[in-house]
Amino acid sequence: MTILSLHHIFKKYSQAPEYAINDVSFDVKEGEILALVGESGSGKTTLLRLIAGLEHPESGSISLSGQVIVEGRESVPAHERQVGMVFQDYALFPHLTILENVKFGLQKFKGDKEKKVRETLLLVGLKEDFNKYPHQLSGGQQQRVALARAMAPNPKIILMDEPFSNLDAMLKDQVREEIRQIIKKTGVTAILVTHDTRDALSTADRIAILHKGYLQQIDIPKMLYEKPVNPYVANFFGKRNEILATPTAEGFYTPFGFIKDKKAGDYKGKVKLLFRPEHAEVVQNDDQQLIGTIFKVSYFGDHQIVKIADEEGKRISIRTNPGRTFEGIEKAFFYLWKYDVEEAF
Ligand SMILES: Nc1ncnc2c1ncn2[C@@H]1O[C@H](COP(=O)(O)OP(=O)(O)OP(=O)(O)O)[C@@H](O)[C@H]1O
């Protein structure tokens, strides 16, 4: 069931020459985790603030839980929207204890506040002394307190702005998984803003990609990765290799050799063959169609990237398993098992 709907939202800041948000529409389902991704300035934070009621659009409407909260310039004030916010720097009050910080979010709560605070802190996995102050906690623990404070009043949706950006790389992987589990356990709907594609891919059920205030695509991670609707989306999740090729009725001539493919007959001018490093395979047998010079092999623990150059020195990258050795090997045979074709000019 849909819990949040945005319809044709436009937002322009008064001093800015361009719209920060351009005709953005999408729905979020109940219990879903949606990641808003995009490079700096793409409009992620603006969109989050529009949903929270901290900014107002020029036009468009937003509904939350069946209630229209924004209709053009008319809107329900932020504090009446039942939206929980987790800020990038957690925004915990330094002079309040963990318990008091979470209790602060419950000012309008009618029941036993103390009990609710303790229940929520346990829910987010905090077993610490609740009378500690924020500075006595690790980054990951502070984030849980911020999440508990946002969740305690039972909001309809939780909005998280760059929730993982203050954590170091080691902690990040663990915290991402924990936060996802907590959100899923409670069944709350969440939108998180991130510029890190790994955050989005590992935490979200669906991902929305923004570029210059325009929504490019919203879909499950696999679809964004495998079926990007445009080159911007395709390149957002890691660069793709490009090989310039000449099509014939039988296949594509490339600087690395000939690729048999009847599909080539559909093209007239030069084309680009686009593929990700994991969509090609380096092989030992020399009856393969493609060959190049090994330029560099980089080891990353769980995989290796082999850079292969054509005669002019133009390189492509192929991912291989970490056990392969390339010592003393000059030439590599490879094939592409999946690629897109685009007209080159
Ligand atoms: N208060 C403001 N006044 C004027 N322009 C603003 C304001 N806030 C944001 N903008 C502009 O609106 C656009 C979108 O900004 P926004 O902060 O939403 O992007 P973002 O994707 O969240 O970026 P970042 O990842 O850097 O936080 C940018 O061009 C930005 O310069």
Give pLDDT tens digits for 2-13: 999 999 999 999
Tell me the helix, strand and coil percentages in the chain, rounded to 5: 25, 35, 40
Q: Which residues line ligand 1 (CB under 6 A)?
A: 13, 15-16, 20, 38, 40-46, 195
Query: Are the CB atoms for 226 and 54 separated by under 8 Å?
Result: no
Written as six digits, the tokens of 84 are: 């929980």
Counting residues of the chain whose pLDDT is more than 90, the rounded percentage is 61
* pLDDT at residue number 220: 96
CA of 190 to the centre of ligand 1 (A): 21
Q: Whose CA is nearest to atom 14 of ligand 1?
A: 43
- pLDDT of res. 66: 92
**Could you read off the pLDDT of 183-225 as tens digits, one per residue?**
998 899 999 999 888 889 889 999 999 999 999 999 999 899 8
Which atom of ligand 1 is least distant from the CA of 42?
21
- Judge whether 133 and 94 are in contact, CB under 8 Å: yes
Cα(302) to ligand 1 centroid in Å equals 37
Structural domains in the chain, CATH included, are 2-236 (3.40.50.300), 241-343 (2.40.50.140)
Task: Please give the distance, rounded to the nearest whole angstrom, from the Cα atom of residue 58 to the centre of ligand 1.
Answer: 16
Atom 28 of ligand 1, nearest CA residue: 41
C-alpha 68/C-alpha 91 separation (Å) is 29
Q: Is 309 helix (H, G, I), strand (E, B) or coil?
A: strand
Query: How close is the Cα of 172 to the center of ligand 1, in Å?
Result: 25
Which of 46, 50, 194 for a ligand 1 pocket mutation test, highest count of atoms within 8 Å of Cβ?
46
- Report the pLDDT value the prediction gives residue 288, as an integer from 0 to 100: 63
Q: How far apart are CA 189 and CA 211, in angstroms?
A: 24
Q: What's the CA gap between 69 and 230, in Å, rounded?
A: 32
Binning pLDDT at 50, 70 and 90, where does residue 125 land?
confident
Q: Please state, in angstroms and rounded to a whole number, the distance separating the CA atoms of residues 137 and 157.
A: 26
Q: How far apart are CA 221 and CA 303, in angstroms?
A: 21
DSSP letters for 55-83: S--SEEEEEETTEEEEETTEE--GGGS-E
Q: Which of 264, 262, 243 is nearest to 254 (CA)?
A: 243
Instruction: Give yes or no for residue 45 having a pLDDT over 80.
Output: yes
The alpha carbon dihedral of 76, 179, 40, 24 has a sign of negative
- Please check the confidence at residue 126 and state whether its pLDDT lies above 70: yes
**Three-state DSSP class for 221?**
helix
Residue 330 above 80 pLDDT?
Answer: yes
Residue type, 122: L
